[in-house]
Amino acid sequence: MIDTRLQRAPLKPDSILDLQQATQHILWIGCCDSNAKESTVLNILSEEIFVLRNLGNMIINGDLSCETTVKHAVVDLQVKHIVVCGHYGCRIVNTTSRDGLKGPWSSKLNVLHSVHEEDLNQLPVRERDRFFVELNVLDQIRSLRQLSEVTDAITLGRLHIHGLVYDSETEKACRVLERHQNH
């Protein structure tokens, strides 16, 4: 049975507010092996985006680089949006092989895979990997929401988190939402 908590929606050019200001109002957390160009995907000026690229666009507890970047973006820059963007065809976030990936990154993906293994195994390999990328984006959003700076900013109504998946074949992104979200 496919996980019905997941929903895909087209990414409209104005889905994330186009501020058209040369100030960083968006933190983009993307994968280091993605070819997605952040400003092109969001149709905004590159000066509006503060970018973090890492392994599998993952939020790992204790990752000083990631935690410091998020804190700086949320507290100092006071970004209004955080975008977690995965990409189809990711060589890090896939269901078949994570060769060379060690430590907490591998562990986190293994836990995510085992939680959704039954649903994943019902899909053809290509769709399985695509679905796993989407599940990873949602999992990273949940991890972001556990960071105190993020929680506080969301509570104050000044921060919104968005999940996207980029498809290099179509050169487009789609939003990935938990089933209960209405955005």
Binding site membership: which residues?
Answer: 31, 33, 87, 90
Give the residue numbers of the binding site for Zn(2+). Answer: 31, 33, 87, 90
In the block, tokens 């506080």 appear at 152
CA dist 26 and 78 (Å) reads 9
CA angle 63, 157, 25 (to 5 degrees): 60
CA angle 153, 165, 90 (to 5 degrees): 120
CA dist 2 and 98 (Å) reads 23
Strands (E), 43-154: 49-54, 81-87
